[in-house]
Amino acid sequence: MSQTEKRLNLNGREIILVGTAHISKESIDQSVEVIRTEMPDCVAIELDEGRYESMKNPESWKNLDIVQVLKEGKGFVLMANLVLSSFQKRMGADVGVKPGDEMKAAITVAEELNIPCEMVDRPIQTTLRRAWGKNNLWGKCKLLATLISTAFTKEEVSPEQIEQLKNSNEMDSMMAELAEYLPTVKEVLIDERDQYLATSIWKAKGNKIVAVLGAGHLPGVVKHLEALAKGEESEDISEISSLPKPGIGGKIAGWIFPVAIVALLVAGMFVGGAQYSLQMLIQWILWNGSLSALGALLALGHPLTILVGFVGAPVATLNPLLGVGLFTGLVQAWVRKPKVQDLETLNDDVSTFKGYYKNRLLKVLLVFFLSSIGGVIGNFIAVPTMISGLF
């Protein structure tokens, strides 16, 4: 048996795990061969229902509603998903394989043999939103920096390097680096999904299961499956299937700037009177609004978008439930509505700096992020400046 296959006999059931590299020709052949040879009762696939539907209907991008995405607060999720998909696509292009081809091949052969398939991965939106929500401010900055560097990397990989991704030593090294640099992201992307995948595989129907999943998940999934079989672990995965609830610290952090600004304005009134407090207010609005507008300008947003960034940033700061990126993004999408062509070239444009400015949908996301970042920087400058003016 290959080192990327694990055969488990647990409580009278046989579970065969096939570890793959998602852009490997050998992984495609291996997945198909194992299913044909084993003829299992069920094939479990490391996909969620949403990605499975997208795989069946590659034109589904054309139905993307960027306005709805921003209103639902999924701007970061969409951007991260696009960047990661584009990165995998570029890596796969070097070896002539599309990301997820081994999953598609496994589904195709299972359907050919009339073997039921089950999608056993957690929805990608939940995973990405948990990765974002569980990080602190510094973690979010590091995550954004990683995504930006990933978006524009030109690194090429050989077929040999792809196959090494299935080697446990290579994988262990990569996981150790990820855990050290972004421990929360590693916990969400790997550890939580190991548990989710194992539990979903365990719940799959039949006494003989073949599961096709990324090689990096093999050790964790084996551990969780064995714990489930012994009754040492619960089958309840509702906690890791939902968005993280903000803790007390997170809730308080959202109100730090509004409370601090109001308190400083009141203090300014006592120190120097209404005129002085008004000057402090103008000073804050100029820093906060100007840098948000500058962010929209750097994204080459429409003039109306830039104006909305200036006016909307102070409003968004005083209401943590809103974000200036929502205002600017919606306005940009309204005045420069994305076209079908933008959706058709999305995966290619996301990998180039020029593409973010050419593609209308990506420009909306760029406006969303840069204006938001500008507003935050403006507050970090304005509040200390206001404090120093009181003493």
pLDDT, the chain, mean: 80
d(CA 360, CA 343): 9
pLDDT-derived band at 253 (thresholds 50, 70, 90) equals: low
Is the pTM higher than 0.85? The answer reads: no
The Cα–Cα gap between 105 and 40 comes to 16
Question: Residue 109, class by beta-carbon neighbours within 10 Å (0-12 exposed, 13-18 middle, 19+ buried)?
Answer: middle
**Cβ contacts of residue 144 below 8 Å, gap of 6+?**
none
Distance (Å, whole) CA 163 – CA 40: 26
Largest CA distance in the chain: 84
Q: What is the pLDDT of residue 125?
A: 81
Q: Is there a contact between 14 and 37 (Cβ–Cβ < 8 Å)?
A: no
CB 264 within 8 A of CB 383: yes
Angle subtended at Cα 174 by Cα 170 and Cα 176, rounded to the nearest 5 degrees: 115
Residue 4: helix, strand or coil by DSSP?
coil
Task: Report the SS3 class of residue 365.
Answer: helix
φ/ψ of residue 214, rounded to 5: -60, 140
Residue type, 113: L
Distances (CA, A) of 221 to 18, 72, 118, 126, 260: 11, 32, 16, 19, 47
DSSP 85-134: HHHHHHHHHHHT--TTHHHHHHHHHHHHTT--EEE-SPPHHHHHHHHHHT
* Range 291-303 average pLDDT: 93
Which of these, 285, 286, 330, lies nearest to 305 by C-alpha position? 330
For residues 175 and 224, what is the distance between their CA atoms, to the nearest angstrom?
Answer: 18
**Could you tell me what percentage of the chain is helix, strand and coil, using 3-state DSSP and rounding each to the nearest 5?**
70, 5, 25
Q: Are strands 117-119 and 5-10 parallel, antiparallel or unpaired?
A: unpaired
How does residue 96 score in pLDDT terms, banded at 50, 70 and 90? very low
- Number of residues that this document lists for the chain: 391
- CA 67 from chain centre, in angstroms, equals 18
- Written as one string, the DSSP assignment of 34-76 is HHHHH--SEEEES--HHHHHHHH-GGGGGG--HHHHHHTT-HH
- Written as six digits, the tokens of 135 are 């990080």
Q: How confident is the model at residue 223 (pLDDT cuts 50, 70, 90)?
A: very high
Say what the pLDDT of residue 173 is.
54
Whether residue 289 is predicted with pLDDT greater than 70 in this model: the reply is yes
Tell me the pLDDT band of 50, cut-offs 50, 70 and 90.
confident
Q: What is the DSSP string of 372-389?
A: HHHHHHHHHHHHHHHHHH
Higher pLDDT, 311 or 89: 311
